[in-house]
Protein backbone atom coordinates (compact mmCIF):
# COMPACT_ATOMS: atom_id res chain seq x y z
CA UNK A 1 0.00 0.00 0.00
CA UNK A 2 1.51 3.27 -1.09
CA UNK A 3 1.91 6.04 1.45
CA UNK A 4 -0.28 9.10 0.91
CA UNK A 5 1.46 12.03 -0.67
CA UNK A 6 2.04 14.95 1.67
CA UNK A 7 1.47 18.24 -0.05
CA UNK A 8 3.61 21.01 1.35
CA UNK A 9 2.04 24.42 1.41
CA UNK A 10 3.93 27.55 2.36
CA UNK A 11 2.63 29.25 5.49
CA UNK A 12 1.51 32.78 4.73
CA UNK A 13 1.96 34.46 8.06
CA UNK A 14 0.38 37.80 8.85
CA UNK A 15 3.81 39.41 8.77
CA UNK A 16 4.53 38.01 5.29
CA UNK A 17 1.15 39.08 3.99
CA UNK A 18 1.58 42.58 5.39
CA UNK A 19 5.06 42.74 3.84
CA UNK A 20 3.74 41.70 0.42
CA UNK A 21 0.91 44.20 0.77
CA UNK A 22 3.29 47.06 1.61
CA UNK A 23 5.63 46.15 -1.26
CA UNK A 24 2.76 45.67 -3.72
CA UNK A 25 1.19 48.99 -2.80
CA UNK A 26 4.53 50.77 -3.21
CA UNK A 27 5.19 49.15 -6.60
CA UNK A 28 1.67 49.93 -7.83
CA UNK A 29 2.01 53.57 -6.75
CA UNK A 30 5.39 53.81 -8.53
CA UNK A 31 3.93 52.19 -11.64
CA UNK A 32 1.10 54.72 -11.70
CA UNK A 33 3.57 57.61 -11.46
CA UNK A 34 5.74 56.11 -14.22
CA UNK A 35 2.69 55.63 -16.44
CA UNK A 36 1.65 59.26 -15.92
CA UNK A 37 5.13 60.46 -16.87
CA UNK A 38 5.14 58.20 -19.93
CA UNK A 39 1.71 59.44 -20.97
CA UNK A 40 2.82 63.07 -20.63
CA UNK A 41 5.92 62.41 -22.68
CA UNK A 42 3.75 60.90 -25.39
CA UNK A 43 2.18 64.32 -25.78
CA UNK A 44 5.48 65.93 -26.70
CA UNK A 45 5.50 66.77 -30.48
CA UNK A 46 7.55 64.36 -32.57
CA UNK A 47 9.94 66.73 -34.38
CA UNK A 48 13.69 67.23 -34.14
CA UNK A 49 14.69 69.02 -30.97
CA UNK A 50 17.34 71.74 -31.07
CA UNK A 51 19.25 73.52 -28.39
CA UNK A 52 17.93 76.81 -27.10
CA UNK A 53 21.18 78.49 -28.14
CA UNK A 54 22.03 77.70 -31.79
CA UNK A 55 25.72 78.08 -30.96
CA UNK A 56 25.51 75.11 -28.55
CA UNK A 57 26.37 71.94 -30.31
CA UNK A 58 25.74 68.47 -29.04
CA UNK A 59 23.51 65.46 -29.48
CA UNK A 60 19.82 66.25 -29.02
CA UNK A 61 17.64 63.21 -28.14
CA UNK A 62 14.47 62.54 -29.99
CA UNK A 63 11.13 61.91 -28.32
CA UNK A 64 11.47 58.19 -28.93
CA UNK A 65 14.86 58.11 -27.21
CA UNK A 66 13.45 60.05 -24.25
CA UNK A 67 10.51 57.60 -23.95
CA UNK A 68 12.90 54.66 -24.06
CA UNK A 69 14.96 56.24 -21.29
CA UNK A 70 11.82 56.90 -19.21
CA UNK A 71 10.71 53.28 -19.58
CA UNK A 72 14.14 51.94 -18.63
CA UNK A 73 14.54 54.19 -15.62
CA UNK A 74 10.96 53.45 -14.52
CA UNK A 75 11.69 49.71 -14.60
CA UNK A 76 14.78 50.23 -12.43
CA UNK A 77 12.81 52.48 -10.08
CA UNK A 78 10.02 49.92 -9.75
CA UNK A 79 12.55 47.20 -8.96
CA UNK A 80 14.14 49.44 -6.34
CA UNK A 81 10.71 50.25 -4.84
CA UNK A 82 9.90 46.54 -4.71
CA UNK A 83 13.10 45.84 -2.75
CA UNK A 84 12.52 48.79 -0.42
CA UNK A 85 8.88 47.72 0.06
CA UNK A 86 9.84 44.13 0.92
CA UNK A 87 12.63 45.04 3.33
CA UNK A 88 10.88 48.01 4.89
CA UNK A 89 7.54 46.21 5.00
CA UNK A 90 9.10 43.20 6.74
CA UNK A 91 10.68 45.44 9.39
CA UNK A 92 7.57 47.58 9.90
CA UNK A 93 5.26 44.57 10.03
CA UNK A 94 7.52 42.95 12.62
CA UNK A 95 7.41 46.04 14.81
CA UNK A 96 3.66 46.41 14.47
CA UNK A 97 2.99 42.74 15.23
CA UNK A 98 5.40 42.45 18.16
CA UNK A 99 2.60 43.11 20.72
CA UNK A 100 0.55 40.37 19.09
CA UNK A 101 3.48 37.98 19.49
CA UNK A 102 3.63 38.83 23.20
CA UNK A 103 -0.10 38.17 23.53
CA UNK A 104 0.31 34.85 21.70
CA UNK A 105 3.17 33.85 24.03
CA UNK A 106 1.04 34.68 27.06
CA UNK A 107 -1.86 32.68 25.62
CA UNK A 108 0.44 29.66 25.14
CA UNK A 109 1.60 29.90 28.75
CA UNK A 110 -2.01 30.15 29.94
CA UNK A 111 -2.95 27.13 27.82
CA UNK A 112 -0.16 25.15 29.49
CA UNK A 113 -1.60 25.97 32.92
CA UNK A 114 0.57 28.95 33.87
CA UNK A 115 -1.79 31.79 34.78
CA UNK A 116 0.65 34.05 36.63
CA UNK A 117 2.12 35.67 33.48
CA UNK A 118 0.83 39.09 32.46
CA UNK A 119 1.47 41.00 29.22
CA UNK A 120 1.28 44.56 30.53
CA UNK A 121 1.73 46.41 27.23
CA UNK A 122 2.72 50.05 27.57
CA UNK A 123 2.92 52.90 25.12
CA UNK A 124 0.34 54.36 22.77
CA UNK A 125 -3.22 53.24 23.42
CA UNK A 126 -4.40 51.21 20.44
CA UNK A 127 -6.20 47.98 19.61
CA UNK A 128 -3.26 45.87 20.80
CA UNK A 129 -3.07 47.52 24.22
CA UNK A 130 -6.84 47.14 24.59
CA UNK A 131 -6.54 43.45 23.72
CA UNK A 132 -3.62 43.10 26.13
CA UNK A 133 -5.52 44.70 29.01
CA UNK A 134 -8.57 42.55 28.30
CA UNK A 135 -6.44 39.41 28.19
CA UNK A 136 -4.68 40.34 31.46
CA UNK A 137 -8.03 40.97 33.13
CA UNK A 138 -9.27 37.58 31.91
CA UNK A 139 -6.15 35.92 33.34
CA UNK A 140 -6.71 37.69 36.67
CA UNK A 141 -10.25 36.34 36.88
CA UNK A 142 -9.21 32.86 35.76
CA UNK A 143 -6.38 32.71 38.28
CA UNK A 144 -8.65 33.90 41.11
CA UNK A 145 -11.31 31.40 40.08
CA UNK A 146 -8.88 28.48 39.87
CA UNK A 147 -7.35 29.37 43.23
CA UNK A 148 -10.83 29.53 44.75
CA UNK A 149 -11.80 26.16 43.28
CA UNK A 150 -8.48 24.69 44.44
CA UNK A 151 -9.15 25.86 48.00
CA UNK A 152 -12.71 24.64 47.69
CA UNK A 153 -11.60 21.16 46.62
CA UNK A 154 -9.02 20.96 49.40
CA UNK A 155 -11.46 22.16 52.07
CA UNK A 156 -14.29 19.98 50.74
CA UNK A 157 -12.16 16.85 50.92
CA UNK A 158 -11.10 17.79 54.45
CA UNK A 159 -14.63 18.57 55.61
CA UNK A 160 -16.06 15.38 54.12
CA UNK A 161 -13.26 13.31 55.61
CA UNK A 162 -13.64 14.76 59.13
CA UNK A 163 -17.09 13.31 60.03
CA UNK A 164 -16.09 9.87 58.80
CA UNK A 165 -12.83 10.02 60.75
CA UNK A 166 -14.68 11.06 63.91
CA UNK A 167 -17.22 8.24 63.53
CA UNK A 168 -14.46 5.72 62.92
CA UNK A 169 -12.65 6.86 66.06
CA UNK A 170 -15.79 6.59 68.19
CA UNK A 171 -16.53 3.11 66.85
CA UNK A 172 -12.93 1.98 67.40
CA UNK A 173 -13.05 3.18 70.99
CA UNK A 174 -16.41 1.48 71.52
CA UNK A 175 -15.18 -1.81 70.07
CA UNK A 176 -12.12 -1.73 72.30
CA UNK A 177 -14.28 -1.62 75.45
CA UNK A 178 -17.85 -2.70 74.69
CA UNK A 179 -18.81 -3.40 78.30
CA UNK A 180 -18.20 0.15 79.54
CA UNK A 181 -19.86 2.09 76.73
CA UNK A 182 -22.73 4.53 77.17
CA UNK A 183 -24.68 3.28 74.16
CA UNK A 184 -27.34 6.04 74.08
CA UNK A 185 -24.65 8.73 74.25
CA UNK A 186 -22.60 6.96 71.58
CA UNK A 187 -25.62 6.69 69.29
CA UNK A 188 -26.42 10.37 69.86
CA UNK A 189 -22.88 11.46 68.98
CA UNK A 190 -22.81 9.21 65.91
CA UNK A 191 -26.14 10.64 64.75
CA UNK A 192 -24.88 14.21 65.18
CA UNK A 193 -21.68 13.48 63.31
CA UNK A 194 -23.56 11.69 60.54
CA UNK A 195 -25.99 14.62 60.26
CA UNK A 196 -23.03 16.97 59.87
CA UNK A 197 -21.81 14.94 56.91
CA UNK A 198 -25.30 14.94 55.40
CA UNK A 199 -25.53 18.73 55.79
CA UNK A 200 -22.19 19.21 54.04
CA UNK A 201 -23.19 16.99 51.12
CA UNK A 202 -26.58 18.70 50.74
CA UNK A 203 -24.96 22.13 50.77
CA UNK A 204 -22.44 21.01 48.16
CA UNK A 205 -25.24 19.65 45.98
CA UNK A 206 -27.13 22.94 46.35
CA UNK A 207 -24.09 24.92 45.24
CA UNK A 208 -23.55 22.59 42.28
CA UNK A 209 -27.21 22.81 41.28
CA UNK A 210 -27.12 26.62 41.32
CA UNK A 211 -23.99 26.62 39.18
CA UNK A 212 -25.57 24.38 36.55
CA UNK A 213 -29.05 25.82 36.06
CA UNK A 214 -30.88 29.06 35.49
CA UNK A 215 -33.20 30.17 38.26
CA UNK A 216 -36.76 31.04 37.23
CA UNK A 217 -37.78 34.35 38.81
CA UNK A 218 -41.31 35.47 39.65
CA UNK A 219 -42.71 38.39 41.67
CA UNK A 220 -42.55 37.37 45.35
CA UNK A 221 -42.97 39.27 48.61
CA UNK A 222 -39.70 39.15 50.53
CA UNK A 223 -41.49 40.18 53.75
CA UNK A 224 -43.94 37.26 53.46
CA UNK A 225 -41.07 34.82 52.88
CA UNK A 226 -39.34 36.17 55.98
CA UNK A 227 -42.49 35.75 58.09
CA UNK A 228 -42.75 32.12 56.97
CA UNK A 229 -39.18 31.44 58.09
CA UNK A 230 -39.50 33.19 61.48
CA UNK A 231 -41.12 30.45 63.64
CA UNK A 232 -38.23 28.01 63.27
CA UNK A 233 -35.64 30.79 63.53
CA UNK A 234 -37.21 32.29 66.67
CA UNK A 235 -37.26 28.84 68.27
CA UNK A 236 -33.51 28.42 67.62
CA UNK A 237 -32.81 31.98 68.82
CA UNK A 238 -34.77 31.39 72.04
CA UNK A 239 -32.77 28.25 72.77
CA UNK A 240 -29.54 30.21 72.22
CA UNK A 241 -30.66 33.18 74.34
CA UNK A 242 -30.70 35.57 71.40
CA UNK A 243 -33.48 38.13 70.93
CA UNK A 244 -34.95 38.51 67.44
CA UNK A 245 -36.35 41.88 66.33
CA UNK A 246 -38.20 42.33 63.05
CA UNK A 247 -39.24 45.29 60.94
CA UNK A 248 -40.95 43.93 57.84
CA UNK A 249 -42.40 46.07 55.06
CA UNK A 250 -43.84 44.83 51.81
CA UNK A 251 -41.08 44.21 49.29
CA UNK A 252 -42.04 42.59 45.99
CA UNK A 253 -38.92 41.42 44.17
CA UNK A 254 -38.05 39.20 41.24
CA UNK A 255 -37.10 35.92 42.88
CA UNK A 256 -37.63 32.29 43.70
CA UNK A 257 -39.49 31.85 46.99
CA UNK A 258 -37.73 28.59 47.92
CA UNK A 259 -34.25 29.99 47.35
CA UNK A 260 -35.03 33.30 49.05
CA UNK A 261 -36.38 31.35 52.03
CA UNK A 262 -32.96 29.69 52.15
CA UNK A 263 -31.27 33.12 52.06
CA UNK A 264 -33.32 34.40 55.00
CA UNK A 265 -32.79 31.19 56.98
CA UNK A 266 -29.03 31.07 56.43
CA UNK A 267 -28.43 34.74 57.22
CA UNK A 268 -30.50 34.69 60.41
CA UNK A 269 -29.02 31.38 61.55
CA UNK A 270 -25.57 32.84 60.93
CA UNK A 271 -26.51 35.81 63.14
CA UNK A 272 -27.86 33.54 65.88
CA UNK A 273 -24.98 31.07 65.97
CA UNK A 274 -22.23 33.69 65.70
CA UNK A 275 -23.42 35.94 68.49
CA UNK A 276 -22.34 36.80 72.01
CA UNK A 277 -22.67 34.23 74.77
CA UNK A 278 -25.61 35.97 76.45
CA UNK A 279 -27.83 38.97 75.82
CA UNK A 280 -27.27 38.97 72.06
CA UNK A 281 -29.72 40.08 69.41
CA UNK A 282 -30.54 39.73 65.74
CA UNK A 283 -32.52 42.36 63.88
CA UNK A 284 -34.23 41.62 60.56
CA UNK A 285 -35.30 44.51 58.34
CA UNK A 286 -37.14 44.13 55.04
CA UNK A 287 -37.74 47.14 52.81
CA UNK A 288 -38.19 47.81 49.10
CA UNK A 289 -35.82 45.44 47.34
CA UNK A 290 -33.69 44.94 50.44
CA UNK A 291 -33.12 42.49 53.29
CA UNK A 292 -30.85 43.51 56.18
CA UNK A 293 -29.79 41.14 58.98
CA UNK A 294 -27.84 42.74 61.82
CA UNK A 295 -26.44 40.75 64.73
CA UNK A 296 -24.33 41.41 67.78
CA UNK A 297 -21.13 39.50 68.38
CA UNK A 298 -17.37 39.79 68.57
CA UNK A 299 -15.49 42.46 66.63
CA UNK A 300 -14.54 41.05 63.23
CA UNK A 301 -11.59 41.84 61.02
CA UNK A 302 -12.71 43.33 57.66
CA UNK A 303 -10.20 41.10 55.85
CA UNK A 304 -11.79 38.08 57.53
CA UNK A 305 -15.29 39.21 56.60
CA UNK A 306 -14.28 39.47 52.93
CA UNK A 307 -13.55 35.71 52.87
CA UNK A 308 -16.77 34.57 54.55
CA UNK A 309 -18.58 34.05 51.23
CA UNK A 310 -15.97 31.54 50.09
CA UNK A 311 -16.98 27.90 50.50
CA UNK A 312 -15.74 26.40 53.79
CA UNK A 313 -14.62 29.77 55.09
CA UNK A 314 -13.90 29.44 58.80
CA UNK A 315 -14.90 32.02 61.35
CA UNK A 316 -13.28 32.50 64.72
CA UNK A 317 -15.99 30.43 66.42
CA UNK A 318 -15.24 27.37 64.29
CA UNK A 319 -18.98 26.67 64.04
CA UNK A 320 -20.86 25.36 61.03
CA UNK A 321 -19.46 23.76 57.92
CA UNK A 322 -18.66 27.05 56.16
CA UNK A 323 -21.14 26.75 53.29
CA UNK A 324 -24.03 28.91 54.50
CA UNK A 325 -22.82 32.31 53.34
CA UNK A 326 -21.30 30.81 50.19
CA UNK A 327 -24.73 29.42 49.31
CA UNK A 328 -26.37 32.77 50.09
CA UNK A 329 -23.91 34.60 47.85
CA UNK A 330 -24.56 32.21 44.98
CA UNK A 331 -28.35 32.47 45.37
CA UNK A 332 -28.20 36.27 45.44
CA UNK A 333 -25.97 36.23 42.35
CA UNK A 334 -28.46 34.00 40.52
CA UNK A 335 -31.15 36.60 41.36
CA UNK A 336 -29.02 39.38 39.81
CA UNK A 337 -28.70 40.92 43.26
CA UNK A 338 -25.88 41.98 45.56
CA UNK A 339 -24.73 40.71 48.96
CA UNK A 340 -22.76 43.03 51.24
CA UNK A 341 -21.18 41.92 54.51
CA UNK A 342 -20.10 44.73 56.83
CA UNK A 343 -18.47 44.25 60.25
CA UNK A 344 -20.13 46.33 62.96
CA UNK A 345 -17.82 48.66 64.92
CA UNK A 346 -19.28 47.40 68.21
CA UNK A 347 -19.09 43.76 67.11
CA UNK A 348 -21.09 41.41 64.97
CA UNK A 349 -22.01 41.56 61.32
CA UNK A 350 -24.51 43.31 59.07
CA UNK A 351 -25.58 41.40 55.96
CA UNK A 352 -27.41 43.41 53.29
CA UNK A 353 -29.11 41.71 50.34
CA UNK A 354 -30.27 43.94 47.50
CA UNK A 355 -32.58 42.42 44.88
CA UNK A 356 -34.26 43.81 41.73
CA UNK A 357 -37.79 44.92 42.46
CA UNK A 358 -40.60 43.39 40.46
CA UNK A 359 -42.20 45.50 37.73
CA UNK A 360 -45.81 44.91 38.66
CA UNK A 361 -47.15 47.58 36.29
CA UNK A 362 -45.28 46.15 33.31
CA UNK A 363 -46.22 42.58 34.29
What's the pLDDT tens digit per position in 11-40?
Answer: 667 777 778 888 888 888 888 888 888 777
**Does residue 312 contact residue 322 with C-beta atoms inside 8 Å?**
yes
Residues 258-290: tens digit of each pLDDT? 788 888 988 998 888 888 888 899 999 999 999
Q: 353 pLDDT band (50/70/90 cuts)?
A: very high
Q: Which residues of 39-64 are buried (b: 16+ CB within 10 A; e: fewer)?
A: eeeeeeeeeeeeeeeeeeeeeeeebe
Helix axes 257-273, 222-240, angle to 10 degrees: 30
Q: Which residues, listed in sequence order, are joined to residue 349 by a DSSP beta bridge?
A: 295, 343
What's the rounded mean pLDDT across residues 171-180? Answer: 80
Q: At what angle do helices 324-334 and 183-211 cross, to 10 degrees?
A: 20
Percent of the chain at pLDDT > 70 equals 77
* 351: region left, alpha or beta (phi > 0 left; psi from -120 to 50 alpha): beta
**In angstroms, what CA-CA distances link 55 with 51, 237, 245?**
8, 125, 121
More confident residue, 305 or 246: 246
Q: Would you state the pLDDT for residue 128? A: 76
The residue-averaged pLDDT of 198-225 equals 73
- The yes-or-no verdict on residue 292 having pLDDT over 90 is yes
Residue 125 is classified by DSSP as -
For the segment 142-161, what is each residue's pLDDT rounded down to a tens digit? 887 777 677 666 656 665 67
3-state secondary structure of 298: coil
Residues in a beta bridge with 203? none
Q: What is the mean pLDDT of residues 197-218?
A: 67
Amino acid sequence: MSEPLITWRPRLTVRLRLTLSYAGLLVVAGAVVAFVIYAVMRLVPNYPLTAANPRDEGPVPTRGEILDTVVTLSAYALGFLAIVGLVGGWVLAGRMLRPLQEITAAARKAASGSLDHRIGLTGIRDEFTDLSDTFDAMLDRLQASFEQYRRFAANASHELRTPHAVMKTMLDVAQADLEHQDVPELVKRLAETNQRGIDIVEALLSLAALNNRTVELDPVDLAAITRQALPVLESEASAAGVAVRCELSESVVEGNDVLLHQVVTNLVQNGIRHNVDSGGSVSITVGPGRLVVHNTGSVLDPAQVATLVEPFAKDRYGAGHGLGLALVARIVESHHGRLELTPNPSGGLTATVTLPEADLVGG
